[in-house]
Structure 1
Amino acid sequence: MRSRGEHRVLPLPDGRSRVELVLDQSGPLAGPIGFLYGDLVRRYLRLEADGLRRRCEPS
């Protein structure tokens, strides 16, 4: 199985930015691993996104 992650920063029309966290998994085990661990991976991506938001947004 191969995993590749990306952080994408996209400009919004009002001058703000949007961040997308992308995880791409491929190979013969990608389906079973995604089925077994998909919820956990989504939880980790949410935690990462929340941490990034706290770090970047003013308090």
Structure 2
Amino acid sequence: MAASSVYNLLFRRTSTFAVTIMVGAVLFERVFDQGGDAIFEQLNRGKLWKHIKHNYENKDEE
């Protein structure tokens, strides 16, 4: 019964089908991009500038 409800709500009309596809593509792109960034940062932990910049910053001591 749930499949027919989804079909009637999202896929029955061409306009709602197109909007569903566009929204799904945008959401997928965001999740894929953030997931890729998280994996990259995990694999390169301790090597990226934001992780090591405190070693190279000059602290002004007055």
Please say whether Structure 1 and Structure 2 have the same fold, judged by a TM-score greater than 0.5: no
Compare relative contact order (CA 8 Å, sep 6+) and give the higher one, 1 or 2.
1
Bigger strand fraction: 1
Higher CA-based Rg: 2
Bigger helix fraction: 2
TM-score, normalised relative to structure 2: 0.42
